[in-house]
Amino acid sequence: MARAAHTELIDRFGRRHDYLRISLTERCNLRCTYCMPGEGIVLRPRSHFMRTHEVQALAATFVELGVRKIRLTGGEPLVRRDAAEVIRGLGRLPVELAITTNGVLLDRFLDTFEEAGLRAVNISLDSLRADRMAAISRRNHFQRTMDNIGLARRRGFQVKVNMVVMRGVNDDEVTDFIEWTREEPLHVRFIEFMPFNGNRWEWGRGVSAGEILARATEHFGAEGFRRADDRPHDTARHYRLAGGAGTFAVISSVTEPFCGTCNRIRLTADGKLKNCLFGRHETDLLTPLRAGEDIRPLITGAVLRKEAMRGGMDTPGKLADGTLHAANRSMVAIGG
């Protein structure tokens, strides 16, 4: 496939976008409180969503425009009926392929991942306590997820564990998650609670990156952990316990945003391009694709319209404005 110049996905702030996150479905087998509204979301006909060949066609166009990494998300991407077919198809593209999953169905897909060359698996886990995880996710799949984390590790996959930290819910487990990385080659990532439609966000429930690191210092001591290497465009700041087999990291989207080096764009399950996780604006790619139109100008135009920070929510006041959250989708319908 001929490649277009990388510069086609550079925005007006000079940020180059070579990382695409594709949501395969809005459906999920969990109901996590920070992700899905308590009343759920409206289920739409399948015709509203990308078909297998359309995911492939859209992804190939983004690769033409310079995308070098694709991460599959959801909802829960592995509940999609044709997930294995989609993964194998994307594995034929010249990209680094990764996935974010809740891990419940992971054991059924590890062979497919290996066939597709997918080696990086991010698994969402918000508590190390079965009863608490059931309360957060409104489902009881804790042991299955834990078993699949171990299975993926034993089979040589790079495993990252994502924990959304919420005050009064699971914030007392931060040091437990860090301790987990001492003997296990896991990569734990603490994610600040973020504002989205339906999750009743207020910063009082959030725990900042600074507070997470302060708790680590209090528990392990100032010399008990050190900074680890970050890769270019990493959203997380990485640390390692002294002698630790794994790492832990903090993603501070709210208190210390990393928008200046952002290289990510998102494709929703219904074929809309979002140039920012926080952004309200979307560009429909699926309708023109089905009409046989050239979607490349739509993609480059959408990237050029990207805001400097958090989709325009660039102040604490805007973050606190619930009407702005309501104008965005719920997390489960974006893909994270």
Residue 309 lies in a domain: yes
pLDDT at site 231: 79
Residue 6 lies in a domain: no
State residue 288 phi and psi, 5-degree precision: -65, -30
Q: What is the dihedral of CA 158, 160, 161, 167, to 10 degrees?
A: 170
Ramachandran assignment for 316, one of left (phi > 0), alpha (psi -120 to 50 degrees), beta (any other):
alpha
Residue 10 lies in a domain: no
Q: How confident is the model at residue 152 (pLDDT cuts 50, 70, 90)?
A: very high
Percentage with pLDDT > 90 across the chain: 70
Smallest Cα–Cα separation from 18: which of 57, 93, 69, 58?
69
Domain count along the chain: 1
197/30: higher pLDDT: 30
Q: How confident is the model at residue 289 (pLDDT cuts 50, 70, 90)?
A: very high
Label residues 205-219 b or e (16+ Cβ within 10 Å = b): bbbbbebbbebbeee
Residue 247 to residue 124: CA distance in whole angstroms? 16
Q: Residue 59: which H helix or E strand, with range?
A: helix 52-64
Smallest Cα–Cα separation from 285: which of 266, 308, 310?
266
pLDDT at site 57: 98
The Cβ of residue 2 has, within 10 Å, a number of other Cβ atoms equal to 4
Q: Are 30 and 102 in contact (CB under 8 A)?
A: yes
- The tokens 């528990």 sit on which residue? 219
What is the extent of the structural domain holding 217?
16-333
The Cβ of residue 43 has, within 10 Å, a number of other Cβ atoms equal to 9
Q: What are the DSSP calls for 191-251, one per residue?
A: EE----TTS---GGGB--HHHHHHHHHHHH-TTSEEE-PPPTT-SEEEEEETT-SSEEEEE
pLDDT at site 2: 41
Residue 3 lies in a domain: no
Q: What are the DSSP calls for 135-186, one per residue?
A: HHHSS--HHHHHHHHHHHHHTT-EEEEEEEEBTTTTGGGHHHHHHHHHHS--
Residue 189 lies in a domain: yes
Residue 259 lies in a domain: yes
Residue 209 to residue 251: CA distance in whole angstroms? 7
Per-residue pLDDT at 313 exceeds 80: no
Q: Which residues contact 298 (CB under 8 A, 6 or more apart)?
A: 273, 283, 284, 285, 288
326/239: higher pLDDT: 239
Residue 4 lies in a domain: no
Per-residue pLDDT at 282 exceeds 80: yes
- The tokens 């390692």 sit on which residue? 240
pLDDT at site 80: 96
Q: How confident is the model at residue 52 (pLDDT cuts 50, 70, 90)?
A: very high
pLDDT at site 6: 45
**Choice among 232-246, 258-272, 299-313 with the minimum mean pLDDT:** 299-313
Which CATH number is 233's domain given? Answer: 3.20.20.70
Residue 236 lies in a domain: yes
Residue 59 to residue 88: CA distance in whole angstroms? 13
Per-residue pLDDT at 335 exceeds 70: no
SS3 102: coil
